[in-house]
């Protein structure tokens, strides 16, 4: 696959998934969008604004609770990213993240009370940050994802995808009855991470 590195994480994610809570606040987004002077609008990813203004449903998100999700928490060490943020994304039927490239603004991380962000980073377009996705369940009918010109409907539990989200356009959505879960890992690249992606199979 061009622009995408595909890995396999062998683990039983299922017990942890039951502890999912959509605890990622949308306060920043609501505050920005309600600003009639639009002074803050450039801090929001254009596709997010597109979805917001066109009433296109967006997926919910929740931070990983290390106490209730010990297997997922191990991914922090396994991937070796610095300033690592672990998040579970849940797409119910009709929920999407339309075609976009990532902007990694500070607000995307500061909602996590355990994260501190250095002051010298930009407010957005944070190219220092990288992201990868891990699929904890097999794909069910009506679930889709896309990276660049790759369109996927055939992943298995444990499939992991690393791609340059700030450069490669991507999207995901669900029109089926089963929710689509994805573990999103954001952080700073380290030599340990490079070692991690150079190996195709990992065991938790």
- Tell me how far CA of residue 52 lies from CA of 33, 45, 49, 155, in angstroms: 9, 11, 5, 29
Which C-beta is closer to another protein: that of 42 or that of 153?
Answer: 153
Phi, psi angles (nearest 5°) of residue 45: -60, 135
End-to-end CA distance of the chain: 25
For residue 172, count other CB atoms closer than 10 A to its CB.
21
Distance CA 94, CA 57 (A): 7
Nearest to 204 by CA among 69, 82, 5, 112: 69
Minimum separation from the CB atom of position 63 to another protein (A): 25
Which C-beta is closer to another protein: that of 64 or that of 172?
Answer: 172
CA 6 to chain centre: 16
Minimum separation from the CB atom of position 170 to another protein (A): 9
Nearest to 159 by CA among 137, 186, 189, 192: 137
Which C-beta is closer to another protein: that of 110 or that of 175?
Answer: 175
Nearest to 75 by CA among 191, 187, 200, 172: 187
Those residues whose C-beta lies under 8 Å from the C-beta of residue 15, and which sit 6 or more positions away, are 71
Which C-beta is closer to another protein: that of 124 or that of 144?
Answer: 144
Minimum separation from the CB atom of position 173 to another protein (A): 5
Which C-beta is closer to another protein: that of 41 or that of 177?
Answer: 177
Which C-beta is closer to another protein: that of 139 or that of 202?
Answer: 139
User: What six digits make up the tokens of 151?
Assistant: 């369109």
Site residues, another protein (CB under 8 A): 47, 50-51, 54, 56-57, 93-94, 96-99, 141-142, 144, 146, 148-149, 151, 153-154, 169, 171-177
Minimum separation from the CB atom of position 181 to another protein (A): 17
Minimum separation from the CB atom of position 57 to another protein (A): 7
Q: What is the largest CA-CA distance in the chain?
A: 51
Minimum separation from the CB atom of position 72 to another protein (A): 26
């Amino acid at each position: 696959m061009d622009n995408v590195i595909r890995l396999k994480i062998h683990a039983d994610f299922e017990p942890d998934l039951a502890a999912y809570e959509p605890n990622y606040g949308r306060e920043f987004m609501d505050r920005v969008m309600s600003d009639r002077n639009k002074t803050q609008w450039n801090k929001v990813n254009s596709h997010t604004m597109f979805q917001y203004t066109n009433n296109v449903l967006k997926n919910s998100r929740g931070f990983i609770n290390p106490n209730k999700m010990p297997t997922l928490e191990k991914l922090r060490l396994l991937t070796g990213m610095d300033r690592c943020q672990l998040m579970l994304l849940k797409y119910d039927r009709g929920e999407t993240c339309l075609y976009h490239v990532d902007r990694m603004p500070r607000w995307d991380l500061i909602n996590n009370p355990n994260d501190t962000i250095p002051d010298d980073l930009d407010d957005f377009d944070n190219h220092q940050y990288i992201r990868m996705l891990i699929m904890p369940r097999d794909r069910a009918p009506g679930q889709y994802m896309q990276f660049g010109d790759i369109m996927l409907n055939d992943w298995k539990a444990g499939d992991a995808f690393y791609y340059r989200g700030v450069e490669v356009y991507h999207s995901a959505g669900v029109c089926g009855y089963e929710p689509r879960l994805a573990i999103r890992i954001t952080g700073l690249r380290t030599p340990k991470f490079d070692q991690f992606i150079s190996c195709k199979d990992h065991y938790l």
